[in-house]
Amino acid sequence: MTLSVSGLSVSSLVRDVSFEIGAGERVGLIGESGSGKSLTALSIMGLLPDELRASGSVRLGDRELLGMSEKDLSRLRGDELAMVFQEPMTALNPAMRVGRQVTEPGRIHGRRHRAEDLLSSVGLADTARAYPHQLSGGQRQRVVLAMALANEPSLLICDEPTTALDVTVQAQILTLIKAALSRESALLFITHDLAVVASVCERVLVMLDGEIVEAGSTREVLTSPKHEYTRKLLAASDLEARR
């Protein structure tokens, strides 16, 4: 299913943002801290804090998500939209065994999944009876990923999902995201790490001060950036050194 964001603004913090992600496409969103990446993601999910309002249009397939009732949105969130945040503990219930937690979205949407199968799919066989605090940070993020992928969402948004993890664990999670995402799922991947974009995404959007200033294929943008700001980003990363 295609995600079409058109003329999206959030107060003056995000301004007139437009992009599309087709079924099966993986798109990166990069830009400096405070540029509006998370607000863009939260607008799509219908999870903006109360004091902020989004205007414009966010369509998933033929449905308009902006202005949709909270009831319809929360149904969509368990089913077709999923998001993984930087810190896995925010998405986990510390008092519930992870096996029960990963099957929760399946229960809500009437589909039965076996906790062991879901956990095995992210390389965590035999952890169903563990509580979140008994797992490492990387293992927790894999549990969250299993939850996000349980219903084969049409759109998965990852907001810096590996920033808090060390590099080897980060690489495992990225491999997992690529492997576990169904062929029809669209991915919006927020990161400040250009190497991560290069390994995961076909296209990339560059955000600066609430606006998208450059968009194109990852190859194009990372090898011949057009915008001054993208050039700076690239120069500041070690990708430049490896070219």
Q: Return the number of the residue (36 or 106) whose C-beta is nearest Mg ion.
A: 36
Distance (Å, whole) CA 4 – CA 238:
32
The CA-based diameter of the chain, rounded to the nearest angstrom, is 51
Contact call for residues 174 and 168 (beta carbons, < 8 A) = no
Distance (Å, whole) CA 178 – CA 214:
24
Tell me which of 17, 21, 27, 39 binds ligand ATP, using CB under 6 A.
Answer: 39
Q: Which of 166, 176, 164, 206 is nearest to 40 (CA)?
A: 206
Least Å from the CB of residue 85 to ligand ATP:
10
Q: Return the number of the residue (79 or 159) whose C-beta is nearest ligand ATP.
A: 159
Contact call for residues 37 and 63 (beta carbons, < 8 A) = no
Quick one: tokens of 236?
A: 């500041």
Q: Is 142 in the site for ligand ATP (CB under 6 A)?
A: no
Quick one: tokens of 206?
A: 């560059």
Least Å from the CB of residue 137 to ligand ATP:
18
Three-state secondary-structure class, residue 35 = coil
Stretch that binds ligand ATP, among 49-57, 105-113, 148-156, 196-204 (CB under 6 A): 49-57
Residues that bind Mg ion (CB under 5 A): 38
Q: Which amino acid is at 224?
A: S
Q: Return the number of the residue (35 or 127) whose C-beta is nearest ligand ATP.
A: 35
Least Å from the CB of residue 214 to ligand ATP:
15
Tell me which of 52, 96, 125, 236 binds ligand ATP, using CB under 6 A.
Answer: 52
Least Å from the CB of residue 34 to Mg ion:
8
Residues in contact with ligand ATP by the rule CB under 6 A: 13, 31, 33-39, 49, 51-52
